[in-house]
Chains A and B, each alone.
Chain A
Amino acid sequence: MLGLGADRLRADMNRLLAFLFHQGILDEQYLQLQQLQDESSPNFVSEVVNIYFHESEKLLRNLRSLLMDREFSDYKKMGIHLNQFMGSSSSIGAKRVRNVCVAFRAASEQNNRAGCLRALELLEHEYCFLKNKLHELFQIEQQRVLAAGVRYPMQN
């Protein structure tokens, strides 16, 4: 960690980001989010993403409990949850999660319980995947920041 690692870490991060973009897991909105991060709010992205995780887990729990209920009928409430989920996902640019939400909502609007269950499975899967990847990304970011902290006087 002599500062040389910073570049490598940046490359790693870029690679990971590129992968996420290529797979359609993230979209431009994430970049917008990154742009909002500056000296005044250095941890803006991770802060937002953490809120997102927190909220999403709550929502997922709610959705699951709703669906698991035997005499399940409250599709409307599920729609509200899904709208929430969709809004927050599109805000951080989680494209695939959002798309699954759209499908989920379509299924719920048709009162298609089996479809809803399948969608929920998929949503949980996607969410986990996203979460892991974003965690990975933040870790690299953290390392990079640490590495970048090692500064050498630059010659102009």
Chain B
Amino acid sequence: MGLKQQQSHHHSVAVKVNEQMGTKRGYTFIQANRAWLPKFLLLWVMVMAFLSTWIYKKMDADNKVRRKEVLSSMCDQRARMLQDQFSVSVNHVHALAILVSTFHYYKNPSAIDQETFAEYTARTAFERPLLSGVAYAERVINSEREKFERQHGWTIKTMEKEPSPIRDEYAPVIFSQETVSYIESLDMMSGEEDRENILRARATGKAVLTSPFRLLGSHHLGVVLTFPVYKSKLPPTPTVEERIEATAGYLGGAFDVESLVENLLGQLAGNQEILVNVYDVTNPSDPLIMYGHQNQDGDLALLHESKLDFGDPFRRHQMICRYHQKAPTSWTALTTAFLFFVICLLVGYILYGAAIHIVKVEDDFHEMQELKVRAEAADVAKSQQFLATVSHEIRTPMNGILGMLALLLDTDLSSTQRDYAQTAQVCGKALITLINEVLDRAKIEAGKLELETVPFNLRSILDDVLSLFSEKSRNKDVELAVFVSDKVPAMVKGDPGRFRQIITNLVGNSVKFTERGHIFVKVHLAENAKPMVDAKGETCLNGGSDEGLLISGARQFKTLSGYEAADERNSWDSFKHLVADEESRYDASINMTVADEASENVTLMVSVEDTGIGIPLIAQDRVFMPFMQADSSTSRNYGGTGIGLSITKCLVELMGGHISFISRPQVGSTFSFTAVFGRCRKVPYSDAKKSNAEDLPSGFRGLKAIVVDGKPVRAAVTRYHLKRLGILVEVASSVKIAASACGKNGSSCGSKIQPDIILVEKDSWLSGEDGSLSFRMMDWKQNGHVFKLPKMTLLATNITNAELEKAKAAGFADTTIMKPMRASMVAACLHQVLGIGKKRQAGKDMPNGSSVLQSLLCGKKILVVDDNMVNRRVAAGALKKFGAAVECAESGKAALKLLQLPHSFDACFMDIQMPEMDGFEATRRIRKMESQANEQMNGGLDEGSARKGEWHVPILAMTADVIHATYDECLKCGMDGYVSKPFEEENLYQAVAKFFIAKPISDS
């Protein structure tokens, strides 16, 4: 039971725990086992049914035990009482026997006669409740019979009331109680049972009982008790013979057991429910019933036997009790079990219901959540759609407004009007920018912004961005510089547009908020960050004594411009580690390179440092939140919406990096971000220079230059740009050192470096003007070698005319390299200074498409066939522009004539819609002609040597409609392609590129 209870307890606890878990953790357990819930319920019900059955059985068994106990106790009680009563009666009979022996035999003459006996026994009958009556029979031997009969005046009769036949002995009743007076004079020995009884009694000297039989008078079942009466006193241990000898008579009494027991039971409580049988079991195989009905129905299942000892050792009796009725159904047990079951059932059902409810609620919840997400998505999508539409709708008229404003500004306006118009234009531009940014942001939020993965040149993008801001920065006299670590691959894979956007945003911000000092963009591999931090720590350990130099009373920092920056990482102390580290690695460790190569991606760290107004501390934590500017006055002073940085952050995160910044108010800010780019497999790392040189003129390779700059960071930037051009660079911190270096070289025959060019930073020049004199004084030819004088060029962010004049006077070249430096710009300036490779450069400068087209079409002879004179003229003009020699034909027939073989046309542009003979027909005929010619040519091989291969003039259709079907028809009739009318450069290029191999322009 205990185990079972525990089990069930455990079960319910488990369910509870399940529920708790279910509610706590969303849909873990209950949801996961939802299919099992009905099974759980069934199991629960079954377990409970089993349990309640068990309870019922247990209680029932208890009841039975109790019932049995009750029965046995009742039975024993009855048996004991019966036995007691019986022994009391027996005792009294004993006493009567003694009375008879005393007064009948010891007294002479007898003191007792029938009358006395009858009276006495009648008056003492209460003492013998069990006996219906007592009688005394005298022992009469046959020899004495006559004497006896005479004495009493009657003959001895048998039980059948007839005169007794002659026997050895007789036991005629002489005294009898009135209740049994009918047995007087009857010979007790004539009855079988009585005789046996008598014989046994006198042999033992004790009260003996007969087996039960029907009594004479009442016809009740009864037994006869017989007690011997002795004449004389017996010896202490008499033998059987002595006893028989001494026997005088027998006192007998009939026990009416039936009425006796009935009487007795009637006195006891619970008489009705119990059924009592009394048996004589002297012969165990054949129990004789003394009381009760043999075939009485009752509860046969349960009976109790009690031993009865009536004082006769020869006879055995027993009492058997049973219940009248079968054990009543145990309603208590049944109800208890049933109620238990019902309660458990209900509990189970409640739990089940709860679980089902939980499941349902959770399901609903998830459904709702999904719906919510969908609704939100729909909402977002709708708003995005709205935004996109509205933005577009705004943009279109805004373009009109801006265009008109631009035109308006071209007209004659008064200064006020012009001012108004300009203001309107500025506002319009700001609005367009805002709309674009909002669109961008919306796109990013909608997750629709996908980054491209195309190879691009990071350095040239940085150059482009810088050139965008060069005008602004120059106006503000802010130095703008970029430095890309050599270890950054020349070509990386990524989204150039977005990268440009990020850089533009950051640099744009910096430019906006910086009034003095510098803006410095630096790109290096993210792994390089570590040595720099170490370097920083080193600087700190050194006590930072060399950090600031006192120059003209102000603290001078070793940053790009000398102004303090928020983040010292870009100051020379750490920067030189980077540069030095780079060089050593670049030269020595190939392993490193290999290791770098191995990884698919390259993580770049880009930092944009400025010395602007910085970001107030309180505003620093919401810099990246959209529409949050440092404070409201910011937008008043500087404009902008504050959305740029949040877009930047999103973009950086899309690129797999993160953005952070360090800012100190009034000192400056440094934004740095990392971004992951793919490596370009095509361009091996070792060829970085070569690929660099592809978009940069290579005419400077191997040139040597000295950069004179007091500020090492700036010198490193200059060096970086020159290096990209393939120029070997030495850095000198002042003019004097440079001069001495040159001088030394001059004397030692250029063993180390013979500079072709000396680049002098304006600041250095101004601070060391004497040095420049020493330059001029130097006589390069004095050593007998004819050196080319090194060209001297000034580097400046901003230069006044006066300064320029002065510089010219000092011997600098006319061209000043204006900062911010870009490799291509530097190259252009150096071209001017050095006067080399100018022509090629000019060629290279042409816009990409047209230059290629030019190279394709240059010198080609092209036939244009069109019936429309205007179209003809325009097509011819367009083709001529790209250097082709054009001939025109105004109809298909004319074209056929011109294309009679052999001809010298390289291509034919054919209009399709022409009267008489349209383009298709003309082409078909031309092709037919050509195939005939080819056959002939194959016949005479030697003729074909002039023109290798077959005749096949490329024919391109010119058509205004570019439906695909038209195109198919073009191909079908033997044309090679088509160009849409009117000509578009790109379209033309695509069509033409298939047939012509580009010829270098220089050939023309």
Tell me the A residues contacting B by CB distance below 8 Å.
Answer: 8, 10-11, 14-15, 18, 29, 32-33, 35-38, 40-41, 44, 47-48, 51-52, 54-55, 80, 83-84, 86-88, 90-93
Contacts and interface: CB of A to CB of B under 8 A. Distances in A.
Contacts of B881: 35-36, 38, 40
A103 B911 CA distance: 23
B913 A15 contact: no
Nearest to A48: B873
B339 interface: no
Contact of A84 (B404, B867, B982, B984): B867
Contact of B960 (A41, A48, A87): A87
Interface of B: 403-404, 407, 410-412, 866-871, 873-874, 877-878, 880-881, 911, 913, 915, 960, 981-984
A83 to B, nearest CB: 6
A14 B407 contact: yes
Given A38-B881, A55-B868, A33 B411 contact: no
A15 B405 CA distance: 11
B869 A88 contact: yes
Nearest to A88: B870
Contacts of B880: 36, 40-41
Given A48-B877, A83-B913, A91 B982 contact: yes
Contacts of A14: 407, 410
- What is the interface of chain A mostly: helix, strand, loop, or mixed? helix
Contact of B869 (A32, A51, A80, A90): A51
A40 B873 CA distance: 15
Nearest to A85: B868
B959 to A, nearest CB: 10
Contacts of B868: 55, 84, 87-88, 91
Nearest to A92: B870
Contact of A29 (B411, B412, B982): B982
Nearest to B866: A87
9 contacts: A29-B982, A35-B881, A47-B873, A48-B870, A87-B960, A88-B868, A90-B981, A92-B870, A92-B874
Contacts of A40: 880-881
B874 A48 contact: yes
A82 to B, nearest CB: 11
A83 B870 CA distance: 13
A35 B911 CA distance: 22
Contacts, number: 75
Given A36-B877, A80-B915, A90-B981, A15 B410 contact: yes
Contacts of A32: 878, 982-984
A149 to B, nearest CB: 21
A91 to B, nearest CB: 5
A88 B411 contact: no
Contact of B411 (A11, A47, A93): A11
Nearest to A17: B407
Contacts of B412: 8, 11
Given A48-B877, A51-B870, 8 more contacts: A11-B411, A15-B407, A52-B870, A55-B869, A55-B870, A87-B870, A91-B868, A91-B871
A6 B913 CA distance: 43
Nearest to B911: A87
A147 to B, nearest CB: 16
Contacts of B871: 87-88, 91
A51 B890 CA distance: 14
A37 to B, nearest CB: 8
A29 B913 CA distance: 20
Nearest to A10: B410
A18 B403 contact: yes
A51 B411 contact: no
Top 6 closest A-B pairs, CB basis? A88-B870, A11-B410, A36-B877, A52-B870, A87-B868, A91-B871
Contacts of A52: 870
Contacts of B404: 18
Contacts of B982: 29, 32, 90-91, 93
B1001 to A, nearest CB: 16
Nearest to B875: A91
Contacts of A80: 915
A91 B915 contact: no
Contacts of B981: 87, 90-91
Contacts of B870: 48, 51-52, 55, 87-88, 91-92
A10 B407 CA distance: 11
A51 B874 CA distance: 10
A38 B870 CA distance: 18
A121 B401 CA distance: 34
A15 B411 contact: yes
Nearest to B400: A22
A90 B873 contact: no
Nearest to A14: B410
A10 B410 CA distance: 9
Interface centre among B407, B873, B915 (most CB of A within 10 A): B873
Given A8-B412, A88-B868, A36 B913 contact: no
A88 B981 CA distance: 10
Contacts of A90: 960, 981-982
A134 to B, nearest CB: 13
Contacts of A11: 410-412
Contacts of A93: 982
A84 B982 CA distance: 14
A92 B873 CA distance: 10
A41 B407 contact: no
A91 B877 CA distance: 12
Contacts of B873: 47-48, 51
A44 B410 contact: no
Contacts of B410: 10-11, 14-15
Contacts of B878: 32, 36
A144 to B, nearest CB: 13
Nearest to A40: B880
B890 to A, nearest CB: 11
Nearest to B878: A36
Given A55-B868, A83-B913, A84-B868, A91 B411 contact: no
Given A83-B913, A90-B960, A92-B870, A18 B407 contact: yes
Contacts of A83: 913
B874 A33 contact: yes
Contacts of B403: 18
